[in-house]
Amino acid sequence: MTDNAIEVTGLVKQFGTKTVVNGVSLTIPTGQVWGFLGPNGSGKTTTIRMMCGLLTPSAGSGQCLGFDILHQAKLIKQQTGYMTQKFSFWEDLTIAENLRFVARMYHLGNVKDVVSDTLHRAGLTRRQHQLAGALSGGWKQRLALAAVTMHQPKLLLLDEPTAGVDPQARREFWHHIQQLAQTGVTVLVSTHYMDEAQRCDNIVYLANGKLISQGPVTEVIKKANLICYRLTGVHIRQYSELLERSAGVLSVAFYGDALFVTGHSKDQLEALLANEAYRQLKIEPVSPALEDVFIALTHRAGEDPRSEQ
């Protein structure tokens, strides 16, 4: 086992004649939380599965948890917990029954004590006799996370884990994830939520099956070279359409009581906003948000050539 949980080079995945992932190389240190971002169909989940031995690459090589991803996938799976976006446990079983079943699947000894401890750690003891199908999204998520970490995996894969979950449940979920990382568990998260991405040590942005950018959030934002201005004033919404049609404007977003205008050229945006049409507005430069970067990188990646394959 090295200081890096995952080291992969040139990963490619083809399904028939279609190349879904093309040449992804990554090194992920042990005990870090990495977020994978990108448009739908960009190759996030396929990349994660290849890195962890759950899907055999068409080309490329690497190691995960010290094991070869091509020849020792079974050993990797034994030390991996995988939580899918869709609730994948048994809705006609109670919480405790689900956990007992999973414990036996993992061949864990002393099932009664393991399940009891898991229920306690996950805050599920009082609900253990409830049917899983009767749980809300947040409690289902808590059950799923408890189940996939029962065997104390070294690697945790989370595929859009908080879709449809309320803000309080999401916050509690991420608190648990950070606690797991502090114990040395490496966590890979596929997400569309920018606030979740900002909770990660590093993010990876994929588009059209290719790795476009990676690094800490602040570094990814800086590398995007975006210019952003905040506009406030009376009836500020009415300026959106005019700005969106203007040359040099990459995106316009309304938050609270302000418009945020983003582009690549400071001179071009300043010339635009100096126009008489915006004289009544307060205009100030601000740092671009990760969502602005997401949109810019997607725009830069262009049309997906894989759709023509």
**Identity at 183, one-letter amino acid code:** T
Structure confidence at residue 163 (pLDDT): 75
Answer for the pair 293, 226: CB distance below 8 angstroms, yes or no.
yes
- Residue 126: CB atoms within 10 A of its CB come to 9
Rg of the chain's alpha carbons, rounded to an integer? 23
Q: Which pLDDT belongs to residue 282?
A: 97
Kindly list the structural domains of the chain, giving each domain's residue range(s) and its CATH number in brackets, ordered by start: 30-57+77-214 (3.40.50.300), 227-287 (3.30.70.100)
**What pLDDT, on the 0 to 100 scale, is given for residue 308?**
53
pLDDT at 247: 94
Residue ranges in the chain modelled with pLDDT below 50: 1
Helix (H, G, I), strand (E, B) or coil at 220: helix
- Residue 1, pLDDT score: 47
Q: How many C-beta neighbours within 10 Å does residue 2 have?
A: 12
* pLDDT of 84: 85
CA distance 236 to 297: 27
Sign of CA dihedral 245, 249, 251, 257: negative
Task: Give the distance, in angstroms, between the CA of residue 154 and the centroid of all CA atoms in the same chain.
Answer: 18
Q: How far apart are CA 210 and CA 156, in angstroms?
A: 23
Q: Quick one: three-class SS letters along 119-180? A: HHHCCCHHHCCCEHHHCCHHHHHHHHHHHHCCCCCCEEEEECCCCCCCHHHHHHHHHHHHHH
**Cα distance from N-terminal residue to C-terminal residue, the chain:** 39
